[in-house]
């Protein structure tokens, strides 16, 4: 797998007159910080997918939307590609820089512009941290619902770019369900308002199109989010199973019973033991699988739902089912789950975290198949996932120092993602495509679908300067790595090749 | 207002060799019915917005997705515009035919292909009626949530085109929140799959872009919808207020209390009296406003929520608040609300139904302003609305036989929509733009935003053959009717003019 931008495959990037660009940027946006020394650029060479690194040509840090506009206009004039970056916590390399591109950090646009407790909305700049929105809304009893694990650090601008999810997205939705409006700057410096404070917006739904577009369509300079009343109470049930498939079926049963849990997470034995060793969460280390089911809302509702879910779990074959006795134990139960990745990191020199999604009916079959792959390749796989919405995070354990193990891990990973597509699911649940899954996109989509992506991208950014090489693969890349059928060796839109 | 397609404003349409087209369509899709006699075409001259009528050039009724593909390819070759139509219940003229265009009815693609009770999804053809999906899912205790008032007749294909809502969309979302995947045919006959059964899909979110695009991007041939477990019970509270503003504030208070009602509807005195006269729903005819608040879910939760909401309502100043004592009375309460439009029709020769949306904080102010407009123009306005999500349906009462009243009604209507935009809302909540609100789109969006719509439309349909003149106004139209600033009289993309 070649995951860095490869000019031979993805198309050549223009050579830039760096001193002239620096001069022009300083003139265009005098208030913005501009980094150009090697030691200043180094910290920006990767995001949360640190296996892949490229030092950018330059880094700019604007402080206002007007500076963003001036910078993009300037880069457009120089035809230099631009990669926007929030906090850099993304796990799929969406903010991986280009050696011939400008890295545009939104970190200094971090003002909370308005919190409106009557309409339950907040208007913020893109560099505001996810958790900071909830903190600002807390005095009104409100919060911002999507909660990626990185919420203490990640920014709302990055959340918009990746359509971030979180443990509670089963009940409260993804970023796209919680953002009402974004103001964006296009590559040629136009400011557009997409969406409104209304439930639906007339015309084409460019807001939903923009959310999750991974920096390909424009740069966000303002975000209006929905705020929700904080749930009065939250309770968590821990159920143990002697069989993974039974736990999988229990997930469907809970949903079918008409209860929408705040969170519904599943861990298999390998993850349970790793987490218990690390966190001492109180997990049953002999269980084949556990489910954590959180119920939140007003007190009387939650009490009734707990009883209901307990009955469903017992009926589905849980060998044990208990309610966290107090807030401390509830936090402990969650700490085990939230630290499952580092816990697995303690029992294996390396691991490779996948992010596929499958329809719930396929859960038992896919788990069985992963077991077979694990055995066939001789590598352990720990399964941790957002069971309620079918978003799996299989962790493939390997030792990069053992020759061939990395390759085998990547091979299992590829096969798991293909399996997800085969059963009607998708190659990413919440981490995005970025640079990491760019080749698998050729499996997920056919030629006509990829062409449509390119045509829509073209509508916003005809010169393909925004984050090239991410999210949507070039047709040339798919011809190289995917199953794409290229008719008589002709790519249909020569001007689209560089996307 | 000119609401029919006007070639002088919207751009010329090609003259078609009708006999040659008929011959070609018969050869391309021999299984599809083709209507071409005047008396066969007449029933298709309008949709639910019957004030505007145009007899189409031809009507075709395919029975399979392959026939749709063949028909679109054939129309593409002839460069003849195509307007797709579901049940024709739309209220904004989205399916209004073109005199020089083919009307493509999807009414015969009405098979339910699959109901999967484990994954809680159904796969259906576009001509399946909204309510028929819930009927097919009922044996599994499941249903399809969005419930437009026309749900007994309207089809899922039309719901996708209009992003249909309904009384319960506050809690359960619009069509876009309940559709997982669509298969569509583009104007040049490509079949694309947008979305997946997963919560999120990689690449650009073309599914959300497509939903609500009002037939501008492609024709739906298959829809995969989410099914939800049927709520165990539903209860409804009726609260009376002596002041409209108090009722408006009570809406915010309920949401702030952390309860998400299944429905939350408001009616003012004029609507209450009209509905009570007609339906005898048991409404308090002296109240300045009533709220209907439905709570649904599992029994214990609903009981607790009812107590909670009752306390909030009393606290907000309700002079009376009572629970429908049984299922009969609950249905009676809703019958009054659902028949509010025909009820108003009984007390006025004509009425004009608006569909604006506003942020909740603006509710008291906008209601006051509507009162002022009503007084100023000497026309009564009845207010009925989905209060929970700020979607208002002011009904402007007039008599078309009184000279000048229609014009005054249209003038108030225009001012109300502009007011909605001013306070941060939108010109349509759930009825769509269609042909009806095409001129107001010039108020809602600026030049750059409209250009972006055009560019995205161009990505799917470069010849602008799909439903031209609907949803997104031509820049020429905005120059004529809107506040659009046309720089030096130049329209930027001459090839986009016909959109």
Given a cut of 60, whether residue A279 has pLDDT beyond it is: yes
Average the pLDDT over B111-133 and give the result.
96
Where do runs of H (alpha helix) occur along A111-265?
130-137, 156-162, 169-172, 175-178, 206-210, 244-256
Q: Which residues are B321's β-sheet partners?
A: B239
**Cα(A452)–Cα(A74) distance, integer angstroms:** 29
Given a cut of 60, whether residue A354 has pLDDT beyond it is: yes
**pLDDT value at residue A482:** 56
Pairing of strands A263-268, B350-353: unpaired
Residues of A in contact with B199 (CB under 8 A): 165, 169, 174, 357, 389-391, 429
For the record, the structure tokens of A288 come out as 């084949």
Residues of B in contact with A197 (CB under 8 A): 358-359, 390, 424-425
Whether A52 and A114 have beta carbons less than 8 Å apart is answered as: no
SS3 at position A359: coil
**pLDDT value at residue A2:** 54
**Cα(A11)–Cα(A7) distance, integer angstroms:** 5
pLDDT in tens, A90-102: 989 999 999 999 9
Cα distances (angstroms) measured from residue A301 to each of A97, B256, B321: 48, 16, 22
- Say which of A121, A176, A449 has its CB closest to residue B192: A449
**pLDDT value at residue A183:** 98
Out of A19-33, A199-213, B157-171, B423-437, the most confident range is: A19-33
Given a cut of 50, whether residue B181 has pLDDT beyond it is: yes
Given a cut of 70, whether residue A493 has pLDDT beyond it is: no
Is residue B36 packed enough to be buried (19+ CB in 10 Å), middle (13-18) or exposed (0-12)? middle
Please report the residues numbered 89 through 108 in chain A whose beta carbons come closer than 8 angstroms to any beta carbon of chain B. none
Q: Which residue has the tokens 């903190």?
A: A135
Average the pLDDT over B180-197 and give the result.
95
Whether B377 and B361 have beta carbons less than 8 Å apart is answered as: no
Question: Is any Cβ of chain A less than 8 angstroms from the Cβ of B139?
Answer: no
Given a cut of 80, whether residue B248 has pLDDT beyond it is: yes
Nearest CA in chain A to B170: A199
Pairing of strands A381-386, B33-35: unpaired
pLDDT in tens, B49-90: 887 899 999 999 999 999 999 999 999 999 999 999 999 999
Q: Quickly list DSSP for A153-165.
A: T-BHHHHHHHT--
Question: Is any Cβ of chain B less than 8 angstroms from the Cβ of A361?
Answer: yes
Average the pLDDT over B198-203 and give the result.
81
**Cα(A445)–Cα(B407) distance, integer angstroms:** 52
| Best residue in B162, B203, B209 for a mutation probing chain A (most A CBs within 10 Å) | B203
Which residues, at least 6 apart from B419, have a Cβ–Cβ distance to it below 8 Å?
Answer: B356, B366, B369, B370
pLDDT in tens, A284-306: 999 999 999 999 988 888 998 99
What percentage of chain B reaches a pLDDT higher than 70? 96
Average the pLDDT over B203-224 and give the result.
97
First to last CA, chain B: 19
**Cα(B99)–Cα(B110) distance, integer angstroms:** 27
What percentage of chain A reaches a pLDDT higher than 90? 68
Q: Quickly list DSSP for A307-343.
A: HHHHHHHHHTT-SEEEE-SSHHHHHHHHHHHHTHHHH
Nearest CA in chain B to A189: B448
Q: How far off is chain B from A382, nearest CA to CA, in Å?
A: 21
pLDDT in tens, B340-395: 888 998 999 988 888 888 888 888 889 889 999 999 999 999 999 888 888 888 99
As a three-state string, the secondary structure of A2-24 is: CCCCCHHHHCCCCCCCHHHHHHH
Cα distances (angstroms) measured from residue B492 to each of B73, B226, B444, B488: 30, 42, 20, 10
Q: Which residue did the predictor score with more confidence, A408 or A483?
A: A408
Whether B52 and B435 have beta carbons less than 8 Å apart is answered as: yes
Which residues, at least 6 apart from A325, have a Cβ–Cβ distance to it below 8 Å?
Answer: none
Radius of gyration for the alpha carbons in chain B, expressed in angstroms and rounded: 23
For the record, the structure tokens of B292 come out as 């209907």
SS3 at position A348: coil
**Cα(A90)–Cα(A209) distance, integer angstroms:** 19
b/e map of B76-98 (b: 16 or more CB within 10 Å)?
bebebbbbbbbbbbbbbbbbbbb
Residues of A in contact with B472 (CB under 8 A): 203-204
**CA–centroid distance for B12 within its chain:** 28
Residues of A in contact with B445 (CB under 8 A): 203
Domains of chain B: 7-105 (3.30.43.10), 112-229 (3.30.465.10), 231-325 (3.30.70.2190), 441-496 (no CATH)
What percentage of chain A reaches a pLDDT higher than 70? 96
For the record, the structure tokens of B180 come out as 């997982």
Q: How far off is chain A from B402, nearest CA to CA, in Å?
A: 33
Whether B294 and B263 have beta carbons less than 8 Å apart is answered as: yes
Q: Is the dihedral of CA A144, A146, A151, A157 positive or negative?
A: negative
Residues of B in contact with A193 (CB under 8 A): 449
Q: How far off is chain A from B304, nearest CA to CA, in Å?
A: 6
Average the pLDDT over B14-18 and give the result.
93
Pairing of strands B102-105, B58-61: parallel
Given a cut of 60, whether residue B231 has pLDDT beyond it is: yes
- Say which of A357, A391, A456 has its CB closest to residue B459: A456
Query: What does pLDDT average to over chain A?
Result: 90
| Best residue in A121, A202, A421, A448 for a mutation probing chain B (most B CBs within 10 Å) | A202
Residues of B in contact with A120 (CB under 8 A): 255-256, 360
Query: What does pLDDT average to over chain B?
Result: 90
Binary contact (B444, A190; C-beta < 8 A):
no
Backbone phi, then psi, for B259, in 5-degree steps? -100, 135
**pLDDT value at residue A486:** 36
**pLDDT value at residue A314:** 97
Q: How far off is chain A from B22, nearest CA to CA, in Å?
A: 29
> ∠ at Cα B499 (A215, B29), nearest 5°?
100
Confidence of residue B2 (pLDDT cuts 50, 70, 90): low
SS3 at position A226: strand
As a three-state string, the secondary structure of B325-390 is: CCHHHHHHHHHHHHCHHHHHHHHCCEEEECCEECCHHHHHHHHHHHHHHHHHHCCCEEEEEEHHHC
Question: Is any Cβ of chain B less than 8 angstroms from the Cβ of A201?
Answer: yes
Residues of B in contact with A428 (CB under 8 A): 200, 202
Please report the residues numbered 421 through 480 in chain A whose beta carbons come closer than 8 angstroms to any beta carbon of chain B. 424-430, 432-433, 437, 441, 444-445, 448-449, 452-453, 455-460, 471-472
Confidence of residue B495 (pLDDT cuts 50, 70, 90): very low
**pLDDT value at residue B3:** 65
pLDDT in tens, A135-161: 999 999 999 999 988 899 999 999 999
pLDDT in tens, B424-459: 888 887 788 999 888 889 888 988 999 999 999 999
**pLDDT value at residue A49:** 85
Q: Which residue has the tokens 């069985």?
A: A368
**Cα(A256)–Cα(B44) distance, integer angstroms:** 42
Q: Which residue has the tokens 């030691």?
A: A39
Question: Is any Cβ of chain A less than 8 angstroms from the Cβ of B213?
Answer: yes
Which residues, at least 6 apart from B242, have a Cβ–Cβ distance to it below 8 Å?
Answer: B287, B288, B317, B319
CA-wise closest residue to A189 among B443, B448, B483: B448
SS3 at position A458: helix
Question: Is any Cβ of chain B less than 8 angstroms from the Cβ of A139?
Answer: no
Confidence of residue A116 (pLDDT cuts 50, 70, 90): very high
- Say which of B308, B389, B452 has its CB closest to residue A199: B389
b/e map of B330-340 (b: 16 or more CB within 10 Å)?
bebbbebbbbb
Question: Is any Cβ of chain B less than 8 angstroms from the Cβ of A196?
Answer: yes
Binary contact (A199, B458; C-beta < 8 A):
no
- Say which of B199, B424, B472 has its CB closest to residue A204: B472
Given a cut of 90, whether residue A200 has pLDDT beyond it is: no
- Say which of B120, B205, B430 has its CB closest to residue A200: B430
Which residues, at least 6 apart from A487, have a Cβ–Cβ distance to it below 8 Å?
Answer: none
CA-wise closest residue to B380 among B410, B351, B414, B358: B351
Which residues, at least 6 apart from B248, have a Cβ–Cβ distance to it below 8 Å?
Answer: B266, B360, B363, B364, B367, B387
For residue A376, the surrounding DSSP H or E stretch is: helix A363-377
Q: Which residues are B466's β-sheet partners?
A: B82
Q: Which residue did the predictor score with more confidence, A382 or B421?
A: A382
As a three-state string, the secondary structure of chain B is: CCCCCCHHHHCCCCCCCHHHHHHHHHHHCCCCEEECCHHHHHHHCCCCCCCCCCCCCEEEECCCHHHHHHHHHHHHHHCCCEEEECCCCCCCCCCCCCCCCEEEECCCCCCEEEEECCCCEEEECCCCEHHHHHHHHHHHCEECCCCCCCCCCCEHHHHHHHCCCCCCHHHHCCHHHHEEEEEEECCCCCEEEEECCCCCCCCCCHHHHHCCCCCCCCEEEEEEEECEECCCEEEEEEEEECCHHHHHHHHHHHHHCCCCCCEEEEEEHHHHHHHHHHHCCCCCCCCCEEEEEEEEECHHHHHHHHHHHHHHHHHCCCCEEEECCCHHHHHHHHHHHHCHHHHHHHHCCEEEECCEECCHHHHHHHHHHHHHHHHHHCCCEEEEEEHHHCEEEEEEEECCCCCCHHHHHHHHHHHHHHHHHHCCCECCCCCCCCCCCCCCHHHHCCHHHHHHHHHHHHHHCCCCCECCCCCCCCHHHHHHHCCCCCHHHCCCCHHHCCC
**Cα(B461)–Cα(A223) distance, integer angstroms:** 30
What percentage of chain B reaches a pLDDT higher than 90? 68
Q: Which residues are B67's β-sheet partners?
A: none
**pLDDT value at residue B140:** 95
Average the pLDDT over A465-475 and give the result.
93
Confidence of residue A167 (pLDDT cuts 50, 70, 90): confident
Binary contact (B453, A206; C-beta < 8 A):
yes
């Amino acid at each position: 797998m070649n995951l860095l931008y490869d000019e031979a495959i993805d198309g050549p990037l223009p050579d830039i007159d760096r001193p002239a660009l620096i001069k022009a940027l300083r003139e265009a946006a005098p208030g913005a910080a501009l980094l150009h020394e090697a030691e200043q650029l180094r910290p920006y060479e990767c995001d949360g997918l640190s296996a892949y690194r490229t030092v950018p040509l330059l880094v700019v840090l604007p402080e206002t939307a007007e500076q963003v506009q001036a910078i993009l206009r300037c880069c457009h004039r120089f035809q230099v590609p631009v990669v926007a970056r929030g906090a850099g916590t993304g796990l799929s390399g969406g903010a991986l820089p280009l050696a011939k591109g400008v890295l545009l950090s939104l970190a200094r646009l971090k003002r909370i512009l308005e919190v409106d407790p009557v309409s339950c909305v907040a208007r913020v700049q893109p560099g505001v941290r996810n958790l900071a929105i909830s903190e600002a809304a807390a005095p009104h009893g409100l919060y911002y619902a999507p909660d990626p694990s990185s919420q203490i650090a990640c920014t709302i601008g990055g959340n918009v770019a990746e359509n971030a999810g979180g443990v509670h997205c089963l009940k409260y939705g993804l970023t796209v369900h919680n953002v009402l409006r974004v103001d964006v700057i296009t590559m040629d410096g136009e400011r557009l308002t997409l969406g409104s404070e209304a439930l639906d917006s007339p015309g084409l739904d460019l807001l939903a199109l923009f959310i999750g577009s991974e920096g390909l369509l424009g740069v966000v300079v303002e975000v209006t989010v929905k705020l929700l009343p904080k749930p009065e109470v939250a309770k968590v049930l821990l159920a143990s199973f002697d069989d993974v498939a039974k736990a999988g079926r229990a997930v469907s049963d809970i949903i079918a019973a008409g209860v929408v849990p705040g969170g519904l997470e599943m861990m298999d034995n390998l993850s349970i033991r790793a987490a218990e060793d690390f966190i001492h969460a109180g997990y049953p280390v002999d269980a084949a699988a556990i489910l954590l089911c959180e119920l939140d809302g007003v007190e009387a509702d939650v009490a009734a739902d707990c009883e209901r879910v307990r009955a469903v779990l017992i009926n589905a074959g849980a060998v044990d089912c208990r309610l966290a006795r107090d807030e401390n134990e509830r936090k402990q139960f969650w700490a085990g789950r939230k630290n499952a990745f580092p816990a697995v990191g303690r029992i294996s020199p390396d691991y490779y975290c996948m992010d596929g999604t499958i329809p719930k009916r396929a859960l038992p079959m896919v788990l069985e198949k992963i077991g077979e792959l694990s055995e066939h390749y001789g590598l352990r796989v720990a399964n941790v996932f957002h069971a309620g919405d079918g978003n799996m995070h299989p962790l493939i354990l390997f030792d990069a120092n053992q020759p061939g193990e990395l390759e085998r891990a990547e091979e299992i990973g590829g096969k798991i993602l293909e399996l997800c597509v085969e059963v009607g699911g998708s190659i990413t649940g919440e981490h995005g495509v970025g640079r990491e899954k760019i080749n698998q996109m050729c499996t997920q989509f056919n030629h006509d679908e990829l062409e449509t992506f390119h045509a829509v991208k073209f509508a916003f950014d005809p010169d393909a300067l925004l984050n090239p090489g991410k999210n949507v693969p070039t047709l040339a890349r798919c011809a190289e790595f995917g199953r794409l059928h290229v008719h008589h060796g002709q790519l249909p839109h020569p001007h689209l090749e560089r996307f």
